[in-house]
Each structure stands twice: as C-alpha cells, then as structure tokens.
Structure 1
Amino acid sequence: MEKNKLRRELSSNQITMIAMGCAIGTGLFLGSGLAISTAGPSVLISYAIGAFIVLLLMGCLAEMTVAHPTSGSFGTIAEKYISPFAGFVVRYSYWIANVLAIGVEVSAIAVYMKYWFPDVPGSIWIFLFAAVLIYVNATSVNTFGNFEYLFSMIKISAIVIFILLGAYVVVGAEPASGIGVENYTGHEGFMPFGFWGLWVAIFISLFSFLGTELIAVTAGEAKDPDIAVPKALKATVFRLATFYVLTIGLMLMIVPWQDAGIDKSPFVRVMETLNIPGASGIMNFIILTAALSAMNSQLYASTRMIFSLSEQRQAPAIFQKVNRNGVPIRALLISTLGIFLAAGVKVLLPDTSYAFMMGISMFGAILTWFMVFISHFYFRKSWEKSGGRKLPVKMHGFPYLTILGALLLLALTASTWFTGPFKIVLQFGIPWLIFLCIVYAFMVKIKRK
C-alpha cells in the first residue's frame, strides 16, 4: 500500500447506500416532525422544493466529481476554479457541518432510547453508541461500506413497509375514522402558517437531504468514478425524493399534523395511533438504526475532509497519516468533537438540544452547497475553454439552473435570521466565517515568512 493514500474499494451500490444512509437519518424520522409543525400539510410542497434544489445540486456535483474524483471533492474543486481561500472555507465549513451533524444524530439517539429507558441519562447512550461507531470507522473502508450497506437496507426496507402499510390503512379506512386526505385541509387548512411556514420548512427539509453530497467525497475511494458516481447520484436523488414525499404524505393522512413534534418520531406516533402490537417499538428500533447509520456516514465524511485539508497543508500533517487498513485514524479522532459537544448540549438544553444542534450544523452544509453552485459556474466555463474531455454526465440548463440553485440557498439562509429556532444558523455562521478569514490570513502570513 502506498503510504498515506486512501484505497479505491467502494462499489457503486456501496456509494449509493452510504449517501442514502447519511441522508435518511433524523432528518426524515425526527426532523420531519419539526417541519410538519412549522408548515402543516403544506410541508409536502416544502419537501418537493427541497428535493428540486438537491436535484440541481447533484447535477452540478456529478459533472464536477467525474472530472475530479478526489476525497477533497468540492473543496478541491473550489480551490482549483475559484481560489485557495474558497477551497479552505469550503473544506473547513463542510468538516464542521458534519462534525456538528454527528452531534445532531447522537442527540436524536438519546431521544429514541428514552422510549425504552426513560430514566437513563441521554449522555450515557451518546458515549456508548459513539464508541461502537468510532471502532467501525477505524477499520477498512470496505468494512465501513458493508456496514453502511446493511444499515441502509434496514432503513429502506422499513420505509417501504411503512409506505405499504400506510397505503393499506388509508385505502381501507372508514369515513368516520379521521384518516384520509381530509387531514390535509381539515385542521386549520393546508397552509395554517401561510407562505412563511412553507418557506421555513424548505430550509428544514434541506437538513433532511444533507448527506447526498457525500457521494462526491466517496469518489476518492470509488473503484470506477466515471460509472459509479453518476449512477449513485441519480439513484440517490430519485429514491430520497420518493421516500420523503410518500412517507410524509401518508403520515399526514393518518395523524393530524398538530400531533407531530420532536419529542417523539412521527413514525412512532403513527404506529401508536394504529394500535399495532409491538409495532411502535420495532419502528423505534429502526429509527435508532437510521440515526446510527447517518452518524456513521457523517463521521466518514468529516474524517475524509480533514484528511484532504491535511493533504493541502491547511491542517496539521498528523491528520494525513493512515493506519494499516488505509484509514486516517487521527483525522477520525478529531472528527468526534461533535459527540462531546452534543453530550454537553444535551445536559444544558435537554428539551431543545436537537433543534439547537441542527441549527448550528446547517450553516456549514448550506454554505458548502452554495459554493458547489458557484464552483460549477466557474468550472463549466474553464472546462469548455480548456478543451477538457467529454464527461459522461452533464448539468443541463447551465448557467440558469446553476444560478437559480445558488439564489434559492442564499434566500433561504437569509430567512433564518427572522425565525426564532433557526436564528442560530447565522448567529453561528457569521462568526465562523470571520474566524476562518482570520485563520487563513494568519496562515498566508506564516507561509510568506
């Protein structure tokens, strides 16, 4: 094995499942409750618009990733086509987003375990499951891929069963049961909080789709990026959009939207409402698996991003070291910071820890997505001007759809300043950007000496 090099061992199916595993986590199973309580039934439109933004993002990302299949992914691309500073900001912002998103998942794990063990402190479960996943990530990338494939299959199978069961219940429901499409309009209307509620829920939906971009990060360890990456991107976006819209649509028919919340998964609430013996416990186990799977994928993503920063000499060289299994173990350990932060937040803010961790993790993610659109704008012009090879995948509607994606993200992020729960996004994000500017200026000054 070549020293300090990652191994290309991931197949197209593994890559798809890794991205699905990262995206189908608390965003669907727990975050959907927050989105529903924000927009009411109109959350269906929110998720559809969110899926459209992600579709545009994946189109840009697929084209650039096939051209540059590296573990640094969009960070490397931003550095090459915009500026070294842009690459620095994207890499560190994506790293902190995933580190904090790990904290979101473990915060949710504490909520799920309370279903069975209401008196056990949530921090106990956070550290227990964190230890298991750190061990999994410390093994070879192929072992990680197999583990994630299995966990993702459990989640996807559960969602398919939920869709089938929900459809059966809705079709066979009696008129007086309170189950059916009338729930979309029968409780304060389809848009109980108006357009503003629908708009804010789009932002929440984007957290649900966070992780789809992980496909670009895995390209550095893919067996055949030209084939694996475009195939995985298309499959992931289609499946995610279908799963989210169908599951939430059925959920709203069965349970009135006012009953959704973040103290318990809406999926578990549906099972309790249907009075299926043991079903709510089984669903809670599956949701727990989903959170562990998403946390596992995010730990992988943050590890590879800090590894890439080290390769570019924008992080200490120690994070570039890999173990005998080809895993950057020191980069892995530094990426566990979100776990300890989540444990602390859980103690300080036991009732609002999930929304808080979700809010601060979103800035880095949305900034990364925004920079993907900007990078694509510069990439396409440069690629065509330099006469680059014909790529197997191409973003349609350039430059209009690329610009549209960037503007939508910018508008949604600016809107968070006027929402109570998500004002933390910019309260954290603006100081974070200022901090990165200071650090980068300091690094440039040292290099010049």
Structure 2
Amino acid sequence: MGPAGTAVAYTIVAYVVWLQYTAVGEMTAYRPVHGGFIRQEAEYVDRAFGFATGINFWFESEWVMIIPAEITAAVSVSQFWPATQAVPLAAYTTMFLAVMVIGNVFNVRIYGHIEYVMSFVKIIAVIAMIFFLFIMASGGVAATGGPLVFHYWKHPGAFNNGMKGVAKAFTQAGFSFGGGEHIAVIAGEAKEPRKTVKSTIYPIFWRMFSFFVLNIWLVGMCVPYDDEDLVTASGTLGSPFVIAALRAKESWLAHALNRFIFLSVISCGITSFYVASRSLTALADLRLVHPLFGAKDKAGRPWISLLICGALGGGLCYLNCNKTAIQVYNWFSSLQSSSRRFDSAPLSKAQGISPETLPFKAPLAPWAHWFGLVIIIFILACEFYISVSPIGEPGTAVTFFANYLGMPLFLFDFVAYKLWFRTKFIKPSEVDFSEAKMFDEEDRLARAMMDDEALQKENGLGLWQKAKNLVLG
C-alpha cells in the first residue's frame, strides 16, 4: 500500500466517518429512542431497509463477527511472549471469551466504568506512542542514524502496488474506523440523550485525527512498507508500532506496547458484546425479529441476546482451532465489509422542521454528507476491485466471495423481507416525530425554568451588585 496511500486513505476515511457521526448524531439528538439507527431506518425509510441494516449491523458486517475477530486477536497478541505459546488455542479462546462475557453481565453503569478505565489507559498509551514515533522520525533515537521524516517515502517509495495498493488502503481504513452507528444504539440507554449525544460529536473529531490519523502518518515515517517483519511476521510481531520499537532497539517499549494492544483488544471485545446484544434486542423490540430475542431481566440486561451473541461469536472463534475450518471462519469474517448510509435531509424539510431548532445541527449539511456518500461508494468500488483482482494472487470465485460476501447478503435480506411482508417506502411527510416533539417540550420547559431562576436572582441583587455584574460579568 505504501505510506502515502495509507496516510491519505486514513485521513479521508476519518473525515467521512466523522461526517457519519454528525449525521447519525443529528437524528439521534432530535429523536433519541431505543433501537437507534435501526429504528430510524425502519421508520424513516422502509421496514425492509431497517431489517436488512439491523441484521447486517448485528451479525453480517459488524459486532457479532467482531467478537471472534477480537478473541482471535487477543490470542495472537498473547503469542508475542514465548512462554505463552505452549498453551492450547482452545484454552485461550475460552478464557478470553469468559472475560468479555463477564464484562457484560453487570448493568450499563458498571459497563461504563469498565470502558472508562480501559479508555483512559489506552489514551495514555496512544499519546506515549505518538511522542515516541515523533522523536524517532525526528532523529532522536540513536538506532535510526539520523532523522527519518519522509526518508521511507523515497526509499522504498510512497506507494506500493499502484492503484491496487491505494484501493486496499481505503478498504482497510474503512474497516479500521468502523462507523458511528453505536452512538444511536447507546443513546437509548443514556440518562440525558440529547445532551450526551451532542457533547460527544466534536471531541470524536479531534480524537480520530490525533489518535488514528496522526499515528498513521508517523508510523509511515518510521517503518518502510517492505520491512521483513511487516511482510512475514504474525501477530503483534507484524504490528508496525511494535516493529518501530524493535528497530529503535527499545525492546521494553515493544513489550509494554503489546500489553496495551492486548488491553485494547479485550476492551473492543467487551464493547462488541454490548452493542451486538443491544442491536438484536432492538430488532426484537421493533418486531423485525421474534420478540423472544428481546427478553430482559429485572435490571434491563438482554440476557437472551447476550447468550446468543456469546454462542455465535464465541462458537465461530473455535473454528480457528481446526486448520480445515479456518477458511470457513475467513468467509464469516468477510461479512464485515458491508456499508449502509442514507440521508436524512428530506425528512426535516417535509416535516417543516427548521434546522435552527435542532438540538444538534450537523455542520456543512447536507453537502458534506453527499461528499461522504461519494467516498463510501468509492470504498465499495475499491473493495470490489480488490476482490476481483487481489494483490499478489489471481482472482478466483473463492477469493471474490471471501472478500465481498457482505453486500450480496445485505441485498438478499432487504429483498426477501420486502417481498415477504410487502413493505413500502415511507414518505418523508409521513414520518412520526411525536416522540421528538415531546423532547422539544421538555427542553422548552427547562429553558423557561432557567430563565425564571435567572430573573429571580437578578431581581434579588442590589444596585451595586447589578452594576458590578454589568461591568465584570
């Protein structure tokens, strides 16, 4: 792919993913309901579209399939240390699966605390790595023999494998960033969803560009794309960050970094269980699948969904214990490739909703989102191109479906549901926004109460205090 192709791809995709966050955030802040974007698509577009997107998000392209991917990654990370390589693969799989399940048996508050602590540790690790890579690229590490900067962009080069390399970079960037739909999923359980959703959107922009994009640019300066370990090593030994630490003769940093990667993998696995179970529950609550899947205990935990997600996600992971089943696992993993987007602008116009009254207004909408849609279509085209003509091997039916199975299944889900239930596309003027207007009334009453309190406070002040406030604020 090359450092230039990778850096450009990650920069563009990061911006597009943030646009998706703003689009989903705008709709969710205005009408924060249980079911998130699955319910939004079922009620704003078509129930068949909501079903296909929900099944796609739950199993085919996102969270259920991320569970075995993260467990497999955790096993791979643990193989970094020779002492752990003698432990059977099935034992590691069972242990990591148990940890991820336990992280989801508590209520949402405990889950939030677990993720808060893990996120804090990961942030510290990422910041430390950024500083190290910056020092290494600037020539502050003796083992590099001087400043690197863009040296590897010239030797061996900025691009690798031409257009195929760029296409591969865009598909990998799309997978790495994922999407912003989980904001809409989690908003249904937030205490003050309008405030919560609004307060998370802009910080996400800075986090993505500082933690993801900046790291990609720096690692491209410190590790050449033809590095032997980058091409042939397995597990985290093939991680460019670990390779950078080893090339700098800082083995202690490689060990520390591997521990942080392990923690990140476990954290992502816990989140995968959480979002997957809530997505299946939302499908059941919306009657898009059988209501049995929406069963909850007294604490509100979707125990049926948790069991199903654990059985599917964990069960698929055991396929890696058998070499003959690895191809089956790879086919399931390829389902993570599908994408789904739609534009909400016509809804507001048809309902007579002024953008100025929205709790959160997506910046540069709708033009920025049209740009995002173009990039998403381009990524899908890149994925198709790589599936038909993969890098370093001839294109076959096996390699095509192993890389592009998600989109046909998404279309099958949509068409099958639509033909079976005879659903119709929903007109923008027919969308029910009554729940959103209830939130509008609550916001209006809250503002009125705050204005009354401010007026009473103002009337209780003396002349001197009023003058002081006028001058000093």
Q: TM-score, normalised by structure 1?
A: 0.81
User: Which position in structure 2 is the counterpart of 1:100?
Assistant: 65
For residues 39 and 92 of structure 1, the distance between their equivalents in structure 2, rounded to whole angstroms, comes to 35
- Select 1:220's aligned residue among 185, 188, 200: 188
Letter in 1 for 2:67: I
Unaligned runs of 5+ in 2: 391-398, 424-473
SS of alignment partner, residue 362 of structure 2: coil
1:426 corresponds in structure 2 to 404
**CA displacement at 1:414 relative to structure 2:** 2.7
Number of equivalenced pairs: 400
Q: Is the 8 A contact 2:34 2:185 kept in 1?
A: yes
SS of 1:335 mapped into structure 2: helix
Give the alignment's Cα RMSD to 1 decimal.
2.7
The superposition leaves residues 306-365 of structure 1 with CA deviations (integer Å, 9 ceiling, x where unpaired) of 1111111122222222123221111111122122213214533798899766532122xx
Aligned counterparts of 1:433 and 1:443: Cα–Cα separation in 2: 16
The alignment status of 1:139 with 2:113, answered yes or no, reads no
Letter in 2 for 1:137: N
What is aligned with 2:316?
Answer: 341
Deviation, 1:162, is 0.9
Corresponding residue number in structure 2 for 1:438: 416
Q: Structure 1: how far apart are the matches of 2:122 and 2:324?
A: 29
Deviations 1:185-225 (A, max 9, x none): 23332123334422331221121111543222110111211
Q: How far apart are residue 155 of structure 1 and its match?
A: 1.0
How high is the sequence identity, in percent, across the aligned residues?
25
Residues 33-432 of structure 1: matches in 2 within 5 Å? 38-96=1-59, 97-116=62-81, 117-171=84-138, 172-173=140-141, 177=145, 180-210=148-178, 212-259=180-227, 260-261=230-231, 263=234, 264=236, 265-336=239-310, 337-345=312-320, 347-348=322-323, 358-363=333-338, 366-367=339-340, 370=341, 374-383=342-351, 385=352, 390-420=357-387, 423=400, 424-432=402-410
Structure 1 residue 114, shift from structure 2 partner: 1.2
Shift in CA distance, 321/351, structure 1 to aligned 2, threshold 3 Å:
closer
User: In the aligned structure 2, how far is the partner of 1:319 from the partner of 1:272?
Assistant: 48
Distance 1:351 1:95 in 2: 22
CA contact (8 A) 1:62 1:233 kept: yes
- Distance across 2 between alignment mates of 1:174 and 1:392: 53
* Amino acid in the other structure paired with 1:330: I
Contact 2:20 2:179 in 1 (8 A): no
Q: TM-score, normalized by length of structure 2? A: 0.77
Structure label with greater radius of gyration: 2
**Deviation per CA, 1:244-286, whole angstroms, max 9, x where unpaired?**
1222222222222222357232222222222224322221111
Give the 3 Å change call, closer, same or farther, for CA 222–349 of structure 1 in structure 2. Answer: farther
Alignment CA distance shift 1:39-1:147 (3 Å): same
**Uncovered stretches (5+) of structure 1, i.e. residues with no partner:** 1-37
1:148-189, CA deviations, whole angstroms, 9 ceiling, x for partnerless residues? 111111111100111112222333246962751233423332
SS in 2 for 1:249: helix
